Structure 1
């Protein structure tokens, strides 16, 4: 009897424990269901948000693709291997061929037949001129090239420059007539002497030389005016700044030696720095400044020639120890046919300024009367490699120089 009661009690306890466990399981299951519901809602919301983000990104990508394709300028994306990965319609139109999957340098070699006038400009075989703006994307090892058609702008600028030169022709003609009057009168006077009966052979030779000198002076005046008015196209090629410096030193040394002077040369430019343009015209422009200094300093000329790099510009500085130029006339020294010398033509500095402008640069004058002159020619630089650009930006140019007395 006692055993039956004990078994019944144990059974009741077991049922109670089972009921408690069932209740706990039901509660846990309900909590789990609630958590699953919340997680499901969160996943649905996250998925919906992700779909919205992807749709927005796709919309932006499509918009950017549309904008890129509709841009009036050309856009070319070049991979690290030099192969064109993307190009918009304008780029294909400007270059006249399909571009994607082609090597960029091979495309340029096919389309141009001469060295570009500068690192940021191209002249195609068909005469079209394009500006190039490059941006390297280091994170993805790609380069973006922006192309802009400069053909019409260049033609208009040439027309404007020509019109400006022609507009100055009237004033130049008046100055030329004034400049020619003196050597013409001298030539006529010398010619009259030759007609005298008692002129000896020695006198005839001396007068003839003077007359020829006067005529050649007139010829130089006329030639200078024609060169200035015509302007003309320069022969554009790429050349190194270092070689330009060496050629200048070789050309200037004998000029300075004529007046027993001293040449001081200093060069501080990156090794890969280059110029684009007419090498002979630039040489001639600098030598014109040197010749001007020699004319102003009769003896003991001290001439300094410095080639330095400032950002993406080359500065060619020519300094002398001459009498200087009065401040009142410094604004006129680059005007054609303006001169303060009896036998000056007034053409030299005008042609220098024109040459510098034709190369996209500018020339500046700094002078204090009695303390010499300092002319600074500023020209745009080009480079062989990106390393040379980085070297320039790092402020670590290659320095060379010397001082030589004749």
Structure 2
């Protein structure tokens, strides 16, 4: 075979090999393309399924959102949603009716300043410019992402509470009148009897003195009953003035000695105040403290005893503690001791401590009882000092303002 023929044969073989390789590559490419098509088809099926599931989820979420929207619209309360910056991002129609537009995209603090007036000691209760009373509650969203605010119209409930309180007060006054009729008649008859004895010409000087003391004792008792009745009828509303607590304590000591008329009970008064100027009703406060002293005397009874009145500064308040060494008060009695007409005394009206509580509250204060059987009793009174009282009364020291503030607090 010639060289030329060998070269042709070699080229033919190479060409055959090349076609063979091309066919293999073409087959591989075809197989790969088919596999790719299958993968694409599979992915398309998966994508279609995922899209279908997502559409279902979105549809369910949309249904839920619509359902929640209907619930919000049907709620009788206003609902406001805030973001983390305090901006209103959503609200229902009731909130818009309460606060007026615009609301959404507004800062909540600005809307409050525009539409709400806080009129009581309760930070959750306010008044709309329309006069409606609104109760406001706030709930924090998860991860501090904002807040939900609920506004409820409590105007009707407050009105009903006011009517109920008035009815209770009228009912209590009816009980008081029935009780006072007996309580006044008995000491009055006693005073008249002693007075009639004084008119006899042959009565000796010693009896005159004793009868005069008895008459004075009965008249002082009647005065206390009438004062209690008047204060209770006024529901603790008092005219306020500036006075000296030291002077009040001096008058209290003198009045106590006139009432007790005996040396077996010692009265100690300890006053550590550097500034004893107060704002309040001196007569009512002195009467309330005298009521507590009288109770202490009754508790001590016939034995020798000591009553200590301690007055001290306690932050922005004046603390008055009245301590006796009597037999103490049982727990079940302590729970009811300030209730009107509750008494353990056969001849008691049950008004004394109720009036004390009313007077203390009218001064913006509080009273508590601490007692241990066999170890005596302490009445702790906390009253705002002069500066604290002035801060409570921005319009000046008006007793009506204090009383109204306390009455609003009681109905919240």
What's the TM-score bracket when you normalise by the shorter of the two chains? 0.5 to 0.7
Q: Which residue matches 2:132?
A: 128
Instruction: Give ranges in structure 1 of 5+ residues lacking alignment.
Output: 236-246, 266-278, 309-315, 379-406
The reply to whether residue 15 of structure 1 matches residue 23 of structure 2 is no
Q: Against the structure 1 CA distance between its residues 93 and 178, is the aligned structure 2 distance closer, same or farther, given a 3 Å change threshold?
A: same
CA deviation digits over 1:86-130, x for unaligned, max 9? 332222334466533455444444555663331121234554222
SS at match of 2:268: coil
Does 2:329 align with 1:322?
no
Gaps spanning 5+ residues in structure 2: where? 254-266, 274-278, 298-304, 383-412
CA 1:356–1:83: 2 relative to 1, 3 Å: farther
Of 45, 49, 54, the match for 1:50: 54
Partner of 2:268: 260
Once residues 272 and 280 of structure 2 are traced to their aligned partners in structure 1, the CA distance between those partners, rounded to angstroms, is 22
The offset of 1:292, in angstroms, is: 1.9
**Alignment partner of 2:168 out of 164, 170, 182:** 164
Aligned pair partner of 1:299 in 285, 306, 318: 306
**What RMSD over aligned residues (CA atoms) do the two structures have, in Å?**
5.2
Cα 1:70/1:375, change in 2 over 3 Å: farther
TM-score by length of 1: 0.63
Partner deviation per Cα, 1:362-406 (whole Å, 9 max, x = no partner): 98866443223366999xxxxxxxxxxxxxxxxxxxxxxxxxxxx
Deviates more, 1:6-15 or 1:135-144: 135-144
Structural mapping, 1:3-402, within 5 Å = 3-95=7-99, 99-111=103-115, 115-124=119-128, 126-137=130-141, 139=143, 141-189=145-193, 192=196, 214-215=218-219, 217-228=221-232, 231=235, 254=249, 259-260=267-268, 288=288, 292=292, 296=296, 299=306, 301=308, 320=323, 322-323=325-326, 324-326=328-330, 329-330=333-334, 333-339=337-343, 346-351=350-355, 367-373=371-377
Query: How far did residue 53 of structure 1 move?
Result: 2.1
Contact 2:291 2:356 survives alignment (8 Å): no
CA distance in 2, matches of 1:113, 1:294: 44
The whole-number CA distance in structure 1 between the counterparts of 2:359 and 2:58 is 57
> 2:90 aligns to what SS in structure 1?
strand
Q: Residues 365 and 24 from structure 1, CA distance in 2 versus in 1: closer, same or farther, beyond 3 angstroms?
A: same
Aligned to 1:147, the other structure's residue is in SS state strand
Is 2:357–2:367's contact at 8 Å kept on the other side of the alignment? yes
Q: Identify which range, 12-21 or 321-330, moves more after superposition.
A: 321-330
| Number of aligned residues | 340
1:264-291 CA-partner distances (Å, limit 9, x unpaired): 99xxxxxxxxxxxxx979xx89995896
CA contact (8 A) 1:307 1:317 kept: no
